[in-house]
């Protein structure tokens, strides 16, 4: 933009441009600082140990677009490359989000970008490094879809395919689009004339976009399943998430979504272990600032002329917990699925920024500088506190994961040495290992690790199941022990000789029988579930 264009441009547009830049830069910078450890180290978890190279063909999990979204960096776990693309996509999402919410002040926009980058769900995403950039691309697509809806009356027609691709990367990002759509409708109602008809039409347009996008997602998924002759995995009810849902079950899920939403923010160590009293303080302060700002903004806007408008706005606001916690339908409460829970932070900041900005535009007799300053300071300090808490949680999660990997590497290395030192061992023998990491013998007792216990049980080992032993040995330690078939594993486990053996690491827990070495890490073999076998044969 040249000087003459800058002079002609509306003041609000120039302010929005500065805010968008602030959101992008703060998201990129905060993301790199918070997740630098993950971008400069390769930390495997129970899934990642089999994904050193993986083409991400996850149609069986309903993620038909994940393969294409991963193509940006190839299919090898390259932390620096994946980290760069992840932060680029997430920063673009932050810029679009600030534009959607019409936040004009750079300090508010910058905190929005930082919160999006360091929210604990993002650390969990980086612990699944092989999908990190693709998942950030999915977040970008979800935000872009809402942005397209807001651009024109028929924007939902263009936005629906974009949303379908976002959900095709990861189903959890439907919640991102749903929550963001609600927030946009609420803010549009506060910014507009307050006519109930306009609010309802805006809400219906966004609802049509969400339903059309979801329908397209399922249509394409069915086409992929048909073309590849596959069925969805029977994992946590994924293949019957809608067909097997009863009315009573739906009511229970909705109630659970609301209950877990408020527990997440206001009950320490409840829905999320990392919701500490300090985090609750930040949540309460930000909620108070946002609530007061909503009251002040509604009092100044056109809602005063339309009594039904405040009721509509409150009804939309009441739907936000359900929209942000839609992943409850996936019966999966892992932190990676909770990313939409960062969006209420941004709504509170957007409301506060509007209240402060609107107060400055009032006449001198109407201004209440002290209240406005206190409101701005409360929102900014609470957001900065939450950025700091999230930064600590992110890096604690990486510390726990790295500690678990060191313990796993030490254990697996000593296991290999024990096998190779067993009398009668010869190279090329069949190695039958029954059991995963023996947690009853080895476990981490570091108290601080309890804050991230919901980070996929990474505090002890990355080889919790029998199959993970072979994944780790083959792909990480370059030990070419082939995993025996299910029949062999079950036969060895059921044998009287195996039952008489002591548990590892006791003497006699590793024995040679003919051309086979048997290692007893657990008392019995746990057969693979059908979904595990289907997953291993995914395409």
For 490-532, give the secondary structure using H, E and C: HHHHHCHHHHHCCCCCCCCCEEEECCEEEEECCCCCCCCCHHH
Say which range, 44-53, 376-385, 510-519, has the weakest mean pLDDT. Answer: 44-53
Nearest alpha carbon to residue 11 among 497, 361, 501:
361
In the prediction, which pLDDT does 252 show? 83
Look at 18 and 250; give whichever has higher pLDDT.
18
Closest among 204, 130, 218 to 174, alpha carbons compared? 218
CA 288 to centroid of chain Cα atoms: 26
Average pLDDT of the segment spanning 202-215: 94
Question: Which of 41-45, 91-95, 105-109, 442-446 has the least mean pLDDT?
Answer: 442-446
pLDDT bracket for residue 9 (50, 70, 90): very low
Q: What is the largest CA-CA distance in the chain?
A: 95
According to the per-residue pLDDT averaged within each range, which of 43-57, 107-121, 359-373 is highest? Answer: 107-121
Return the structure tokens found at 330: 């996936």
In angstroms, rounded to a whole number, what is the distance separating the alpha carbons of residues 110 and 113? 5
Q: Predicted confidence band at 6 (pLDDT cuts at 50, 70, 90)? A: very low
Q: Is the pLDDT confidence value at 3 over 80?
A: no
Judge residue 478's burial from the number of C-beta atoms within 10 Å of its C-beta, 0-12 exposed, 13-18 middle, 19 or more buried. Answer: exposed
- At 270-312, the pLDDT tens digits run 888 889 999 999 999 999 999 999 988 887 766 667 778 888 9
Partnered with residue 426 across adjacent β-strands are: none
Give the per-residue pLDDT at 415: 95
This prediction has a pTM of: 0.91
Q: Which of 105, 165, 32, 126 is nearest to 372 (CA)?
A: 105
CA distance 72 to 372: 45
- Dihedral sign from CA coordinates of 368, 372, 373, 374: positive
For helices 79-101 and 106-118, angle between their N-to-C axes, nearest 10 degrees: 140
DSSP class of 54: -
pLDDT band at 114 (very low <50, low <70, confident <90, very high): very high
- Return the pLDDT at 364: 52
Q: What six digits make up the tokens of 18?
A: 């500065």
Q: How far apart are CA 75 and CA 352, in angstroms?
A: 43
The answer to whether 103 and 151 are in contact (CB under 8 A) is no
Sheet with 430-434: list strands edge to edge. 430-434, 516-520, 510-513
Q: How many residues does the chain have?
A: 539
pLDDT tops 70 at residue 201: yes
The answer to whether 451 and 274 are in contact (CB under 8 A) is yes
Residue 55: pLDDT band with limits 50, 70, 90: confident
Does the pLDDT value for residue 388 go beyond 90?
yes
Indicate the average pLDDT of the chain.
87
pLDDT in tens, 144-156: 999 999 988 888 8
| Token pair belonging to 294 | 């909503």
8 A C-beta contact, residue 349 and residue 383: yes
Going by pLDDT thresholds of 50, 70 and 90, the confidence category of residue 1 is very low
pLDDT at 4 exceeding the cut of 50: no
Q: Which residue pairs from 378-381 have beta carbons closer than 8 angstroms and sit at least 24 positions apart in sequence?
A: 378/285, 378/286, 378/288, 378/289, 378/352, 379/108, 379/285, 379/286, 379/289, 379/290, 379/293, 379/348, 379/349, 379/352, 379/353, 380/107, 380/108, 380/111, 381/285
């Amino acid at each position: 933009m040249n000087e003459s264009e800058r002079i002609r441009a509306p003041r609000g547009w120039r302010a929005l441009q500065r805010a968008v830049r602030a959101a992008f830069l703060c998201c990129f910078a905060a993301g790199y600082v918070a997740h630098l450890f993950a971008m400069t180290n390769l930390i495997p978890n129970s899934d990642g140990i089999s994904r050193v190279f993986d083409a991400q063909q996850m149609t069986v999990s309903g993620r038909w677009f994940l393969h294409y979204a991963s193509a940006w960096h190839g299919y090898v776990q390259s932390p620096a490359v994946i980290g760069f693309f992840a932060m680029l996509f997430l920063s673009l999402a932050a810029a679009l989000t600030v534009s959607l919410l019409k936040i004009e002040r750079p300090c508010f926009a910058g905190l929005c970008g930082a919160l999006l980058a360091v929210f604990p769900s993002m650390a969990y995403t980086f612990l699944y490094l092989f999908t990190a950039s693709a998942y950030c691309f999915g977040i970008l697509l979800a935000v872009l879809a809402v942005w397209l809806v807001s651009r024109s009356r028929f924007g939902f027609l263009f936005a629906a395919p974009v949303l379908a691709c976002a959900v095709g990367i990861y189903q959890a990002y439907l919640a991102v689009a749903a929550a963001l759509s609600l927030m946009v409708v609420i803010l549009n109602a506060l910014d507009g004339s307050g006519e109930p008809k306009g609010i309802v039409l805006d809400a219906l347009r966004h609802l049509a976009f969400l339903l059309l996008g979801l329908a397209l997602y399922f249509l394409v998924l069915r086409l992929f399943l048909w073309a590849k002759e596959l069925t969805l995995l029977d994992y946590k009810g994924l293949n019957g998430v809608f067909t097997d849902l009863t009315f009573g079950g739906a009511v229970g899920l909705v109630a659970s979504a609301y209950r877990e939403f408020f527990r997440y923010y206001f009950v320490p160590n409840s829905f999320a272990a990392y919701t500490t009293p300090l985090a609750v303080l930040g949540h309460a302060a930000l909620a108070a600032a946002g609530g007061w700002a909503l009251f002040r903004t509604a009092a100044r806007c056109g809602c005063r002329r339309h009594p039904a408008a405040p009721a509509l706005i409150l009804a939309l606001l009441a739907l936000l917990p359900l929209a942000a916690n839609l992943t409850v339908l996936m019966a999966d409460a892992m932190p990676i699925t909770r990313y939409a829970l960062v969006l209420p932070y941004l709504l509170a900041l957007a409301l506060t920024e509007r209240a402060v900005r609107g107060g400055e535009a009032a006449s001198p007799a109407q201004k209440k500088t002290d209240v406005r300053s206190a409101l701005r300071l409360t929102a900014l300090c609470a957001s900065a506190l939450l950025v700091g808490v999230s930064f600590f949680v992110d890096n604690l999660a990486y510390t726990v994961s790295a500690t678990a990997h060191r313990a796993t590497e030490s254990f697996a290395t000593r296991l290999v040495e024990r096998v190779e030192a067993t009398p009668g061992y010869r190279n090329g023998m069949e190695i039958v290992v029954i059991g995963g990491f023996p947690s009853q013998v080895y476990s981490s007792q570091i108290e601080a690790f309890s804050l991230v216990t919901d980070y996929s049980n990474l505090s002890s080992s990355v080889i919790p199941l029998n199959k993970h032993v072979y994944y780790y040995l083959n792909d990480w330690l370059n030990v070419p022990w082939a995993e025996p078939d299910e029949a062999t594993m079950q036969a060895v486990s059921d044998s009287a000789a195996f039952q008489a053996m002591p548990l590892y690491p006791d003497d006699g827990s590793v024995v040679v029988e003919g051309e086979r070495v048997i290692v007893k890490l657990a008392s019995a073999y746990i057969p693979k579930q059908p979904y595990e076998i289907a997953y291993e044969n995914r395409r």
